[in-house]
Amino acid sequence: MGCSKILVSLLAARAEVQYDPSLTSPIDIAASITDLGFPSSVLQQSGAGETEADLEIIGMTCASCVHKIETNITKLPGVKSAQVALTTNRGKFKYDPEITGPRSIIEAIQKLGFDAQLFSRERGDNYLQQKEEIKKWKRSFLFSLAFGGPCMIAMMYFMLMMSVHEMSNEDMCCLVPGRSTNKYFYYS
């Protein structure tokens, strides 16, 4: 058929095929793979012996996280470049598929303390991830409200009492010497 080497990445759902252009073409190879029951298409090759993985990275909080991932991943054998974006939680990694693969890059990122997975535009679970993040922020807000709400109410009560009755801090009743009632509620 004219193929000399085929590298299949199950995780990335891609295959790199080295072939003799005088014997076959990329379209013929893709058609043969499709005939075997695996729908395939030809992707444009960015560089000889170079593949790109687009990963979603979860857990980054600052620019130093980005720097940590980029510097450590580019030290891996076979990784040619790493570009990580904090705002989109994504990273593009160019690597030599004969030396390393997406699984090795993901494992290295996980060893750094972050969660990583292949990014796919077809995945529909992005909505579910946003829903989980919304739940997390809602719980955090309700927790803050449970403790901050009573403090706010106590503060407004004492401010109202001071303004209506024209009282000062010194006029407020002292529960403990040196500590007024309002400060006792605020800091206790």
Question: Of the given ranges (8-12, 44-48, 117-121, 147-151), which has the lowest mean pLDDT?
Answer: 44-48
Q: Which of 76, 96, 93, 124 is nearest to 16 (CA)?
A: 96
d(CA 38, CA 16): 15
137 and 172 housed in the same domain? yes
> In this predicted structure, what is the pLDDT of residue 114?
92
Q: Same domain for 25 and 64?
A: no
Q: Residue 149 pLDDT more than 60?
A: yes
Residue range of the domain that includes 136:
128-187
Last residue of a domain, one of 70, 94, 118: 118
76 plus 110 within the same structural domain:
yes
Q: Does residue 93 belong to any structural domain of this protein? A: yes
Name the least confident of 17-31, 58-72, 144-158: 17-31
Comparing 177 with 35, the larger pLDDT belongs to: 35
Number of domains in the chain: 3
Average pLDDT over residues 87-102: 87
Q: Are residues 85 and 132 in the same domain?
A: no
Same domain, 101 and 55: yes
Torsion sign, CA atoms 73, 75, 78, 83? positive
Q: Does one domain contain both 114 and 136?
A: no
For residue 81, name the pLDDT band (cuts at 50, 70, 90). Answer: very high
Q: What's the rounded Cα separation, in Å, for the pair 86 and 143? A: 27
Start-to-end CA span in the chain (Å): 80
% of the chain beyond a pLDDT of 90: 26
CATH of the domain at 110: 3.30.70.100
Distance (Å, whole) CA 86 – CA 70: 11
Identify whether residues 55 and 107 lie together within a single domain: yes
- Give the pLDDT of residue 36: 87
Residues 6+ apart with CB under 8 A from 68: 112
